[in-house]
Amino acid sequence: TGDPARLPSAAKYAILAIVRQALTNVRTHARATSVTIRAEVVGETCTTSVTDNGVGFDLAAFRAQPPGPQHLGLISKEELAGLVGGQLEINTGLGRGTTVTVRVPLGR
């Protein structure tokens, strides 16, 4: 198991910003009755996820839309994860909720 204290300040900020955006999206769009936040450090990676039981959405259709204000939160958070050497993954579908997962390496 890795040491979360080794997570750089920039990575901590990025994770917090991504979790906040995911929670904003749950509140604004998901119509969820439940949300779960998980964080763990395994080896050299910190993985944090936000999962809701809401309505979900069509990710391919979302990405195909022209950029606009409704995209800024998600797109900027993908870029933010990349800036700290991490990856953002979105797992969703109509009627099955959404999980947003960010993986960030320790000690970068």
Average per-residue pLDDT for the chain: 90
CA angle 41, 12, 29 (to 5 degrees): 95
- Max CA separation in the chain (angstroms): 42
pLDDT at 69: 65
Confidence of residue 55 (pLDDT cuts 50, 70, 90): very high
Is the per-residue pLDDT at 27 higher than 80? yes
Is the per-residue pLDDT at 1 higher than 70? no
Structure tokens at 52: 């809701």
92 contact partners, CB below 8 Å, separation of at least 6: 56, 57, 59, 98, 99
The superfamily CATH assigns to domain 4-105 is Histidine kinase-like ATPase, C-terminal domain (3.30.565.10)
Confidence of residue 40 (pLDDT cuts 50, 70, 90): very high
State how beta strands 45-52 and 98-105 pair: antiparallel
Distances (CA, A) of 23 to 33, 54, 65, 86, 97: 12, 12, 22, 19, 13
Structure tokens at 63: 């990405």
- The amino acid at residue 7 is L
pLDDT at 60: 86
Could you tell me what percent of the chain has a pLDDT over 90? Answer: 73
Is the per-residue pLDDT at 20 higher than 90? yes
Provide the 10 A C-beta neighbour count for residue 37.
11
- Mean pLDDT value across residues 97-102: 98
- Mean pLDDT value across residues 53-81: 81
pLDDT at 104: 97
pLDDT at 46: 96
